[in-house]
């Protein structure tokens, strides 16, 4: 019996600490381990290497993933899944840990249903949009990157009578934009989950500008596709000169935060222990209210993540 780990989809800070803990923890349990490079594409192309301490030494502080990642269209073709399984058989690998999102988990669900492979998914995405878990690996680091950028943008905004519109990532989920708005003191937050209340905001901000407000900070989630609209609205209705900043992929980078490192360790230990004790597993390890549990992949893949209601209510308190 051997275990392997791979990254799939978008990278997230915390993946490297997870990879290191996987190799180190399995070594203590005398479990043979392998690293699969370049995600599902690497699984198909047999980019599989037996892991050693040397492979993971000194990677805790690195962002991204040393085993690299990919998005694979080929994996949805049965002949390539069979090729991937034959590759795993060469190394006697029958247990996989997958660092990724719901798309990666769905791919492995199909794979493990066809072949004698067990897997546990570890939610790893800065979007924090996976159903069933309140936390995904990488989101804390991403939030800190955004927070640092917003603090610096506010410095220059305060030096002029200006508004800054900042677009953040998150796909169709407004988690990053909403939490970042709360902790940065943004005046405007536009996310997919809530209708942009233009008229109400316009009345409030116009009054504040008349009373001496010199600048405005607006955060827009990329999934709304409203960055340009918010920029034009601010200039036309509030009369402030505006600038747009799209943070982009800088949000995925950076040294993993202390919290992401600790969460990576706990996710991995729980995943490895579960695979050791169970057979024919198709699970995702999730974290809620301080506790790690396991959910069926079918439950994860058939439901959509929703922002907590108390977060949504917080939009009304932005000022």
Cα 69 → chain centroid: 14
Report the b/e string of 98-133 with b at 16+ CB within 10 A: bbbbbebbbbbbebbeeeebbbbbbbbbbbbbbbbb
Fold of 140-252: Rossmann fold (3.40.50)
127 is catalytic: yes
* Domain 2-138+256-302 CATH class label: alpha beta
Cα 203 → chain centroid: 36
- Tens place of pLDDT per residue across the chain (319 aa): 899 999 999 999 999 999 999 999 999 999 999 999 999 999 999 999 999 999 999 999 999 999 999 989 999 999 999 999 999 999 999 999 999 998 899 999 999 999 999 999 999 999 999 999 999 999 999 999 999 999 999 998 888 888 999 999 999 999 999 999 999 999 999 999 998 888 888 899 999 888 888 889 999 999 999 999 999 999 998 888 999 999 999 999 999 999 999 999 999 999 999 999 998 899 999 999 999 999 999 899 889 999 988 888 877 767 6
β-sheet with 216-221: strand ranges across: 188-190, 216-221, 162-168, 241-246
Catalytic residue among 11, 102, 127, 140: 127
DSSP 47: -
Report CA-CA distances (Å) from 56 to 33, 34, 138, 236: 12, 12, 19, 54
The secondary element (H helix, E strand) that includes residue 121 is strand 118-123
Assessment of whether the complete model's pTM goes beyond 0.85:
yes
Identical fold at 2-138+256-302 and 140-252? yes
Domain ranges of the chain: 2-138+256-302, 140-252
């Amino acid at each position: 019996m051997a275990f392997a780990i791979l990254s799939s989809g978008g990278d997230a800070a915390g993946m490297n600490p997870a990879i290191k803990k996987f190799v180190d923890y399995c070594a203590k349990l005398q479990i043979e381990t392998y690293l699969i490079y370049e995600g599902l594409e690497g699984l198909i192309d047999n980019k599989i290497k037996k892991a050693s301490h040397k492979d993971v030494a000194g990677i805790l502080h690195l962002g991204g993933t040393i085993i690299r990642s990919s998005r694979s269209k080929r994996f949805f073709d049965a002949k390539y899944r069979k090729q991937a399984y034959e590759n795993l058989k060469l190394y006697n690998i029958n247990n996989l840990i997958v660092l990724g999102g719901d798309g990666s988990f769905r791919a492995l669900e199909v794979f493990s249903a066809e072949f004698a492979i067990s897997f546990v998914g570890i939610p790893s995405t800065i979007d924090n949009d996976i159903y069933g878990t309140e936390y995904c690996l990488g989101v804390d680091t991403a939030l800190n990157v955004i927070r640092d950028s917003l603090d610096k943008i506010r410095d220059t905004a305060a030096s002029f009578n200006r508004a800054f519109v900042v677009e953040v990532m998150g796909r169709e989920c407004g988690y990053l934009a909403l939490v970042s708005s709360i902790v940065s003191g943004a005046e405007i937050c536009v996310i997919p989950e809530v209708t942009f209340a233009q008229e109400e905001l316009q009345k409030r901000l116009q009054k504040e500008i008349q009373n001496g407000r010199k600048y405005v900070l607006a955060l827009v989630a990329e999934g709304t596709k409203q960055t340009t609209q918010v920029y034009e609205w601010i200039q036309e209705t509030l009369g402030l000169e505006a600038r747009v900043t799209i943070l982009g992929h800088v949000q995925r980078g950076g040294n993993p935060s202390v919290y992401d490192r600790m969460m990576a360790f706990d996710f991995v230990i729980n995943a490895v222990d579960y695979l050791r004790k169970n057979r024919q597993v198709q699970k995702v390890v999730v974290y809620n209210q301080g506790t790690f549990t396991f959910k069926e992949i079918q439950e994860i893949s058939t439901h959509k993540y929703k922002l907590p209601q108390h977060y949504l209510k917080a939009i009304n308190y932005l000022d």
